[in-house]
Structure 1
Amino acid sequence: MFASFVDRPVLAGVISVLITLIGAVAGLSLPIAQFPEIAPPIINIQATYPGATAQQAYEAIAIPLEQEINGAQNLIYISSTSNADGSVGMDATFEVGSDLNAAAADVLTRAQRAEARLPQAVRDQGLEIVKSSRQRLGNVVLYSDDNRYDELFLSNWAETQVIKPLRRVTGMGRIVNFSNKRYAMRIWLDPARMEALGLSPSQIVQAIEQQNAQITVGSLGKEPVRDAPAFELQIVTKGRLTEAREFADVVIRANPDGSVVRIRDVGRVELGSEQYGSRSTYDNKPAASLGLYQNPEANAVEVMKGVRATMTDIAKRFPPGLQYRIALDRTEFVEASIHEVIKTLIEAIVLVVVITYLFLQNWRATLIPAIAVPVALVGTFGPMALLGFSFNTLSLLGLVLAVGLVVDDAIIVVENTERLMEEGEAPREAAREAVNEVAGPVIATTLVLAALFVPVAFIPGLTGQLYNQFALTIAISVLISAVVSLTLTPALCGLLLKPHDKAAHRSRWRAPLRWFDAALDRATGIAAGSVGRLSRHLVATGLVFLVFAGLTAWMVASRPSAFVPQEDQGYFFADIAMPKGASVARTAAMVEEVGRAALAEPSVAGTIGVAGRGILADVTAPFYGFQIPTLTPWDQREETVTDVIGRLRQRFKNHPDGVLRIVDPSPLPGLGSRGGLTLELQDRSGAGGLALARAAEGFIAKLKELPEIGGATATTSYGVPQLRLDIDRAKAEQLGVSLQSLFDALGTYVGSSFVNLFNKFGFVYQVYVQSESQGRRTIQDLSRLTVPNNRGEPVQIGALVTPHFVSGPTAVLSYNTYPAIEIALDTAESASSGAAIAAVERLAGTALPTDYAVEWTEVAYQEKIAGGWAPLIFGLGVVMIVLLLAGQYESLRLPFVVILVTPLALFGAVGALALRDLPLDIFGQIGLLLLVGLAAKNAILLVSFARDLREKGEDAVTAARDAVRLRLRPILMTSFAFILGSLPLAVASGASANARISMGTVVIGGLLVATLLTLFVTPVFYVAAERLGERRGRTGEPGQKEHGKDDREPGTAPQPAE
């Protein structure tokens, strides 16, 4: 059938051109991404309870919402953070592959049911529910080099002019203004003046509520009226106030003498900020910093393209001196990674062509498989587009490894044609016979490789997403290469190959190649000769193999495991924790110091600083801060991010003011914001925050003793100094002070009271009432504040309350509806993440009381789930190979001969990882799956030819020996073509280098060992299988023919090419 293409080269060419054209057109539409859509969908809920403590916000907001949202379909975990400023952030995380719109609708419905149980102040602020990723996509900063604009102006310019258009960028999720200085009308009360005039804060609030209101009056002459006037006039009047002077003129009280008391008589009014608890900088200059988070379904590269285009347009309207910079762009790493993988792909193609020429030693013969490579690779783009794939790290790694695979089938056809031509056949006849001889093995090996990967497509969750595009990309490329090898390759052999010129073969410049041929002939003789010797000691050979297999099993089991390697992504996080209770000003000084140290590093391009907010747990508190140093591009620096981190860690190791914890960002987009492991310690008994904090402190101390753990830190603190006020309720009643008046006075003077809204600059802003600083600096200031009693007499608050120093939480965290403390873990340099997870779980089982439990989250959670799929994936691969070969050979023995090479490949792969001190991560596991097919492919070539020779009358040993002689050259050629094609992976550098190194190390080590040992082991096992079949009397199986039925004498076979 396939031999007919030798006589129809135009048809063969048309088939390949069509495959290439379809793939090229489809390739133009494929998006670019770092990974497939692996991030679990996240629905983020934001709410605020003005003036509330963290515990109050947790009880009033988080608990009702969690009770309703918990149990949503496909929800895997729900977490919340209730901050000391009354804000609550909640993330509902769903299974990978869940319908994000359906999840959002479900969460919205459940949140609406809970809304009735939320305080009115929370409902007034509203709930914000958005689809968003947890990992930051980028940061846009606004700043001025000459500091002409303060942070308040920059933050509000961002709110009014930048955030609105950025929200319209396709795929944008939420945008966080880390400056958080949104305009607000601030009424600062003078407690002394308030006392002198006998006013209470509630009177101020009531006056503003009444006089700053949206009023609708109606129209004059509007139908129906008698004697309708000629005109209808709509009545307008001043409702909501807009200017500070208007609020200052608000009348609080009219006195009997006709005078009035206005707000300006008891305080001052300014257009200020909603909050003053954070500060934001860029390169230590005041800045507005906008954190961009994408919609989980969106393509990050396309979103950032939209951001850059939008910012370019907005910048045209900037006032003088205002500048912006995209200070952090995570897609730069994505694009650099793709560039590095494409460069690796090109290097692999060149190396494959070189090794092919080394074996074939004929430029015409080398050109034929070289043509097959671009046809198969480009043709793969078409099915990739149909399946919704993208150009990402995994699919492109699949194409890199496919280079060595797609050339294999063409090499087998060309090499067999060359061998027949050396025996004297003409090129066209040789091509026909060659393709007929190898069509069976080519189809078998192709189906084995394709079938090996297809079951992976049905694995659910994150593991399935990681395996899926890599596996199917290879399977598609191998199927296309088989079509090309059986159609275009034989046609080109008939057209391009010429009879061998023996004189040219003896020329001087070919001397090194003759040396290579001689070495190959010696290797062929050694391998073929070993078949007979080992066949005489089948039991001993089998025992040695069993020992070898047992050693392999031990090596695989004992090799440290990991999920994904940490990469140099071009930036890192420096989280700052000051002493508990430190002011934001003190924290800002530490943030600035860390920024100066980072900017002094030659590889650091810029820094994004924030004081008043942590980055490890995204907690808002005055004694937390962070810096995000961004590095220069990978090709402009010699060192890695690890080198920079190491120096900064050493510099701030024993800093007297604060603790600096430097971490890498998460290696998987959408799974948390940082690298390392994240553990949630849960209180399931309701013992309270302090008991949970004590349990966490003891557990962390024991975690630090584990050799697998390099560091353990609680991301929040429960030992924060707080002031507790015990109210003498009886005395308040005696003095005529209502508790509500007392609470209102405290809440307004100290905590600030949200009153209502006003309009300005086309936006709606909030109005707050609070005491001037002299009424809220110290305990004495608090005690001197007064509240009017029912007779209008001022009563000092100090007479009604007794202050006590206590400790409490910075923030209250919960995980899966239980109060929790989040623990960030770093693995020790000598340990893998898998070993660390196992060690922590063992410790938790013995060190924690029964009322406490631990749960993994983010990357660690996914790693735990992924660990259970690896054995099933390999098991399915082996089963598919056995079933296909059993159907082809009509035998159950020969498939097991093929599959027994698997331990050889695993031994080489795990041994190579051990030599390079690398853990077995997800990329290594993907490489192992590929190795199963590659090792089986070589064994199939040997078994298929040995089987054919047996059918022609040779005994088992002779057939196995001659199969080695005939197939050693193509097996070595295809194997070393793949090994050299994978070499750029194993020695990779730059962006995403660690993933390529892991996969390259596995496939090179495994295939190298498997190829060399397969030539000795597979023929011997084939002989053993045939003898076993003969003893059992299976006369119907191949290999049971009588000798002498063939026209050749037993023991003779076509000789390999010289």
Structure 2
Amino acid sequence: MSDAPQIRNLFIRRPVFSAVISIVIVLLGLFSLTRLAVESYPPLTPPEIQVQAVYPGATAQDVADAVAAPIEQQLSGMQGLLYFKSSNSSDGVMNLSVYFDISRDPDLAAVDVQNQVALAQPQLPQEVVRNGITVRKRQTAFLVVLALSSDDPRYDTEYLNNYAKIYIDDELKRLPGVGDASTFGQLDFSMLLSLDPDRMAQLGLTVSDVAAAVQEQNATNPAGRIGREPAPPGTQLTIPVITSGRLKEASDFERIIVRGRPDGSLVHLSDIGDAHLGARNYDLAGRFDGAPTALTPVFLRPGANALQVKQEVVARMGELAKNFPPGVHWTIAFDTTPYVTESIKEVVKTLFEALLLVTLVVFIFLQSWRATLIPVVAVPVSVIGAFFGMQVLGFSVNLLTLFGLVLAIGIVVDDAIVVIENVERIMEQEGVPPAVAADKAMHQVSRALIAIVLVLCSVFIPVAFLGGITGLMYKQFAITIAVSVVLSGIVALTLTPALCAVLLRPVPEGAPVVVESGVLARAFNRFFGGFNRGFRSVTERYLGAAGRVIDRPRTFFAAFAVAVALLLVLVRAVPSGFIPSEDKGYFGMLVELPDNASRQRTEAVVKQVESFLKAQPAVNHVVALVGLNFIQNANQTNAAIMFVMLKPWEKRSAAKDQLPAVLGAVNGYLFQLQQTRGFAFNLPEIIGLGTTAGLELNLQDRGVNDVTRFAGLTGEFAADANALPTLRGVYPTIRVNTPQLFVQVDREKVKALGISLSELFQTMQASLSTLYINDFNRYGKTYRVQAEAQARFRQTPEDIGRLYVRGPNQQMVPVSALTRTEFRAGPSVITRFNGFTSALVVGAPAPGKSSGEMLAAVERLAQDKYAARGIGYAFSGQSYQERASGGQGGLVFALGLVMVFLVLAAQYESWSIPFAVLLGVPFGTLGALLGVWLRGMANDVYVQIGLIVVVGLAAKNAILIVEFANELRAQGRSIREAALEAGRERLRPILMTSFAFILGVTPLLTSSGAGAASRHSIGTGVFFGMLVATLVGVFFIPLFFASIRSLSERGLVGRRAGAVVPPTVALPAEGD
């Protein structure tokens, strides 16, 4: 029989089996990677249901009172409702947005809103109900904006707009992954009946006569069938009977008979006006790079692959373009995918840089290419295998999951290093073969590896149960790391010992062999010989310092208390934040002219701004939506929203071409424009999470009860907020001095003459606005038939008096005889938030200030100065989510500590030993917050995510010492000797793994380009956290173990149930 030691470990005896396990993990990961969606963030926007209603001719106040208020009264109490807000504009349109918790199913939320709107319909004006109330899920994941243009003057924007709606929109909506595609504006075809009020009065006709005639003669008139059953026996044929149905051409509408005269002659529509194919509404216009354009926004369906969907959109547009009329072209005017592509590419680049740096650290410590190869093989297995877990869990490839993988590289390499270092130590000290050393090493460290995996998972997995947007962000990041950690544990228990047995060679201590011979070998040996001598010296000094720390517990526990106190100070000193503001390669602008400025005036100013922007070296393209106030979600002829695409990041490396500098230059230019106000702003980091990346505060009228006084207080609030050092660019959106022409109807005179009030108001509405009569069909679509007065009859206030209504004796009465007019000031848009009249206030943090400081400052201002004056407040958008997430970071941190404690208590069957591990965590937290504070950053979501990692890794370092010290204590060593010996034996793997992680995250600190702010935020916390946790923790962990184990064995804290405790060796008193 052979005297060779028996190999007990299955995976060392069967290396092929071990390799197959890892190969299967990699194959599953690679297969899953091809099926995962790619996006910048997972779906994080709360479901938004949009309700739109139209009250033609109504003022903003009329819409707010008669339409918005009845609907809003029905909304409160719905499941998962966060808040709702409405915008009511002077064009008669109400846009109501209802927001739900992110856990709410959007389809069910839409059904709930539809039901509540149905309950309010009996209270709404009939004209509103007749025009239709739309309830739909709003798609918020903005992908691209397509521009359709033509160099042929025959194809104007009206033609292009309708061409896109007929031939492009539906084609794009049918693509998998596209959530919505709707061409901007309301230039849909409409049959416009332009009436001559003077001629109508001469003929004794009213708008009601015209509407009745159109409804009668432009209708579908089914007649039935000849020979239908039941029929007489022998009937051979069944023939459908057709009649003239809806009219199609303008000439058909002009031949409509409005009235028959007593002499037998007829009055046709052409006698009192004309009909022509026009547009439903001309108040909105799109522009791209200075030219009128039809713009089609394309939205991404939740969970779809942004890059793949864009490719499909481009491919489909290429096919459709083959059938475009000559001279019609398309292009991508606005694109969010470059930021997705570049930011993910930068993180992937960081991923490889981290792998290289980790490999370098491992190579320096292990000093053997064979030993280095083992973790280099193990790391990709854990990282690639994580993609399989991501697919099973429904995750996507996004910034959060990729950040998790970057940090996982430094984490998962630890398990392999612990095994390799232990195997090499046994080979050097005992002179046994690699297979035997690997078998013995696994017997020693398997329990520690399992403990490390359990502790790290106990830190990360509970995060999955948190709710809200921040909970989802934590979940995507933490669970990705947890999956990698579990796979790392599997690899460390299977593949790593097998590779150690196969690849490692016995090497005498202090004599590293990197290459076999030659000059390179001598150079490496000299370097590593010096490194080893230096490390042995560091180890001896460490033992001396650690011994002194253990011997002076009072002094160093006092130092620990000071560190905890400093940590508490930093918790309050470091400002809070949400998501760092990024240079996404684009930004938004709002341009406003004086109240009631026409669209033509607004478009002229937009042209000036476009010229300025195109002259900027950093600007690539400019998209303008004229007639839309994006901030208030209202159509206003005096407003325009602009989106500016910047050149690629690599082409604008100069400071003046970075987003903050560009925003400053643009805002400076807007400030100088005469009779124009506006501002440029960064869009939210998560598209759809509000309108701007800064402040969104809704001031509410909770006791003022006067819109003019409320507007004055809002302006005063904005001025006070601008004076605060934490804010800049505070901008109130409410305007109540819009000139309005008030028509005072003499109701007594109207009734005395027997005239219908509804007839009077309908006449004004049809003449000054449009009257929707019914529909006609064209190009396979259904369009509106609308009546309006000819343009020359609606230019001045006097034109109102030239309108006529009919009395009971068929006499035509001029409206001027029944009314008087006067100019008044009033709001052009009335916004409401949670049922109260409101004013949206937007702004941004001052340079060097965080969003948390900004929100806290405006809250104090609102509570201290304005609450008593009848002003309430509520946040919306990104500001709401930041406030709602307050305390989540602390909850995550506390939950992680509790779970680590419970897992360790179960692992060691002791309530006291876990404290020796957890007491090292404050050092990591202190380092993380200190680094964030020194770099002038905020304690945002990414920093808090990093703190979770620091907790896990700091606990892991402590476990390596505590686990070994417990074993030595069980062997009969004294507490002090066990603590110091464990520190000495575990110092090398601790420093190796910690510095591997620290260098692995260094690229996050130094990165630039797309998404750099997020990388800096998460990298700063974990870098400084682990640096302090390692350099300070290795001295304090032996002290914590010795003190707690001593107390435990004295029975003061709690002892392991049923354990046999070796004779206690008391700690020396301080100074002994």
Pairwise TM-score range, normalised by the shorter structure: over 0.9
Provide the rounded CA distance (Å) in 2 between the counterparts of 1:945 and 1:225: 100
- TM-aligned CA distance change 1:4 to 1:748, over 3 Å: closer
Equivalent positions of 1:701-720 (< 5 A) are 701-720=719-738
Equivalent positions of 1:280-679 (< 5 A) are 280-296=286-302, 300-301=306-307, 303-423=309-429, 424-500=431-507, 502=511, 504=513, 507-638=522-653, 639-679=657-697
1:99 maps to which of 91, 94, 105: 105
Answering whether residue 853 of structure 2 is matched by residue 835 of structure 1, we say yes
| Structure 2: stretches of 5+ with no match in the other structure | 1-6, 515-520
Per-residue deviation, residues 293-338 of structure 1 (Å, max 9, x unmatched): 4455655455444433332232221111111122223233223322
- Partner residue of 1:1055? none
| Contact preservation (8 Å) 1:606, 1:629 | yes
| Contact preservation (8 Å) 1:147, 1:285 | no
Provide the rounded CA distance (Å) in 1 between the counterparts of 2:555 and 2:377: 46
Equivalent positions of 1:260-279 (< 5 A) are 260-279=266-285
Provide the rounded CA distance (Å) in 2 between the counterparts of 1:211 and 1:18: 73
| Contact preservation (8 Å) 2:146, 2:334 | yes
Provide the rounded CA distance (Å) in 1 between the counterparts of 2:634 and 2:583: 26
Question: What amino acid does structure 2 have at the position aligned with 1:122?
Answer: V
Per-residue deviation, residues 849-871 of structure 1 (Å, max 9, x unmatched): 45432111121111112112222
Moved more, 171-180 or 659-668: 171-180
Displacement of 1:503 in angstroms is 8.3
Provide the rounded CA distance (Å) in 1 between the counterparts of 2:303 and 2:76: 23
| Contact preservation (8 Å) 1:132, 1:296 | no
Which secondary structure does the structure 1 equivalent of 2:693 belong to? coil
Provide the rounded CA distance (Å) in 1 between the counterparts of 2:941 and 2:1055: 46
1:35 maps to which of 36, 41, 64: 41
Provide the rounded CA distance (Å) in 2 between the counterparts of 1:213 and 1:496: 87
Answering whether residue 99 of structure 2 is matched by residue 78 of structure 1, we say no
| Contact preservation (8 Å) 2:217, 2:256 | yes
| Contact preservation (8 Å) 2:195, 2:787 | yes
Provide the rounded CA distance (Å) in 1 between the counterparts of 2:1056 and 2:197: 106
| Contact preservation (8 Å) 2:917, 2:959 | yes
TM-score computed with the length of structure 2 as normaliser: 0.93
| Contact preservation (8 Å) 1:953, 1:1043 | no
Question: What amino acid does structure 2 have at the position aligned with 1:554?
Answer: V
Question: What amino acid does structure 1 have at the position aligned with 2:884?
Answer: I
Provide the rounded CA distance (Å) in 2 between the counterparts of 1:4 and 1:521: 35
| Contact preservation (8 Å) 2:95, 2:633 | no
Question: What amino acid does structure 1 have at the position aligned with 2:446?
Answer: A
Question: What amino acid does structure 1 have at the position aligned with 2:823?
Answer: F
Question: What amino acid does structure 2 have at the position aligned with 1:436?
Answer: H
Displacement of 1:1032 in angstroms is 4.3
Provide the rounded CA distance (Å) in 1 between the counterparts of 2:893 and 2:8: 33
| Contact preservation (8 Å) 1:148, 1:321 | no
Which secondary structure does the structure 2 equivalent of 1:605 belong to? strand
Displacement of 1:233 in angstroms is 4.0
- Partner residue of 1:900? 919
Per-residue deviation, residues 116-145 of structure 1 (Å, max 9, x unmatched): 433332233223222223453331221124
| Contact preservation (8 Å) 1:2, 1:487 | no
RMSD over aligned Cα atoms:
2.5
1:953 maps to which of 959, 972, 980: 972
Which secondary structure does the structure 1 equivalent of 2:605 belong to? helix
Moved more, 905-914 or 1-10: 1-10
Which secondary structure does the structure 2 equivalent of 1:867 belong to? coil
Question: What amino acid does structure 1 have at the position aligned with 2:635?
Answer: T
Q: How many residues were matched structurally?
A: 1046
- Partner residue of 1:787? 805
Question: What amino acid does structure 2 have at the position aligned with 1:941?
Answer: L
1:856 maps to which of 875, 888, 896: 875
Displacement of 1:275 in angstroms is 1.0
Displacement of 1:545 in angstroms is 1.2
Provide the rounded CA distance (Å) in 2 between the counterparts of 1:432 and 1:20: 25
Which secondary structure does the structure 2 equivalent of 1:657 belong to? coil
Per-residue deviation, residues 168-205 of structure 1 (Å, max 9, x unmatched): 23354444432321111112222333333333333222
Per-residue deviation, residues 776-831 of structure 1 (Å, max 9, x unmatched): 11122333333344444443323322212212222222222222222223122222
| Contact preservation (8 Å) 1:252, 1:262 | yes
Provide the rounded CA distance (Å) in 1 between the counterparts of 2:525 and 2:123: 87
- Partner residue of 2:957? 938
- Partner residue of 2:1040? 1021
- Partner residue of 2:4? none
Per-residue deviation, residues 313-370 of structure 1 (Å, max 9, x unmatched): 3222111111112222323322332222212111111111111101111100100111
1:153 maps to which of 156, 159, 171: 159
Provide the rounded CA distance (Å) in 2 between the counterparts of 1:63 and 1:715: 20
TM-score computed with the length of structure 1 as normaliser: 0.95
2:173 maps to which of 156, 161, 167: 167
| Contact preservation (8 Å) 2:909, 2:1056 | no
| Structure 1: stretches of 5+ with no match in the other structure | 1045-1049, 1052-1058
| Contact preservation (8 Å) 2:131, 2:772 | no
| Contact preservation (8 Å) 1:54, 1:811 | yes
2:982 maps to which of 960, 963, 971: 963
| Contact preservation (8 Å) 1:591, 1:626 | no
- TM-aligned CA distance change 1:302 to 1:119, over 3 Å: farther
Per-residue deviation, residues 505-563 of structure 1 (Å, max 9, x unmatched): 88234323333323322221221110222223211111111011101111022211111
Which secondary structure does the structure 2 equivalent of 1:192 belong to? helix
Provide the rounded CA distance (Å) in 1 between the counterparts of 2:940 and 2:710: 34
Per-residue deviation, residues 484-521 of structure 1 (Å, max 9, x unmatched): 11221111111111122648588234323333323322
Provide the rounded CA distance (Å) in 2 between the counterparts of 1:312 and 1:281: 22
Question: What amino acid does structure 2 have at the position aligned with 1:129?
Answer: V
Equivalent positions of 1:23-62 (< 5 A) are 23-62=29-68
Provide the rounded CA distance (Å) in 2 between the counterparts of 1:492 and 1:782: 92
Displacement of 1:455 in angstroms is 0.9
| Contact preservation (8 Å) 1:612, 1:620 | yes
Question: What amino acid does structure 2 have at the position aligned with 1:190?
Answer: D
- Partner residue of 1:749? 767
Provide the rounded CA distance (Å) in 2 between the counterparts of 1:186 and 1:279: 19
Provide the rounded CA distance (Å) in 2 between the counterparts of 1:385 and 1:136: 24
Provide the rounded CA distance (Å) in 2 between the counterparts of 1:407 and 1:48: 62
Question: What amino acid does structure 1 have at the position aligned with 2:612?
Answer: A
- TM-aligned CA distance change 1:62 to 1:171, over 3 Å: farther
- TM-aligned CA distance change 1:74 to 1:298, over 3 Å: farther
Displacement of 1:236 in angstroms is 2.4
Which secondary structure does the structure 2 equivalent of 1:572 belong to? strand
Provide the rounded CA distance (Å) in 1 between the counterparts of 2:178 and 2:912: 57
- Partner residue of 1:820? 838
Answering whether residue 908 of structure 2 is matched by residue 889 of structure 1, we say yes
Provide the rounded CA distance (Å) in 1 between the counterparts of 2:611 and 2:389: 51
Provide the rounded CA distance (Å) in 2 between the counterparts of 1:649 and 1:302: 36
Provide the rounded CA distance (Å) in 2 between the counterparts of 1:306 and 1:91: 30
Equivalent positions of 1:112-261 (< 5 A) are 112-134=118-140, 136-145=142-151, 147-223=153-229, 231-261=237-267
| Contact preservation (8 Å) 1:529, 1:961 | no
Provide the rounded CA distance (Å) in 2 between the counterparts of 1:597 and 1:244: 43
- Partner residue of 1:909? 928
Which secondary structure does the structure 1 equivalent of 2:33 belong to? helix
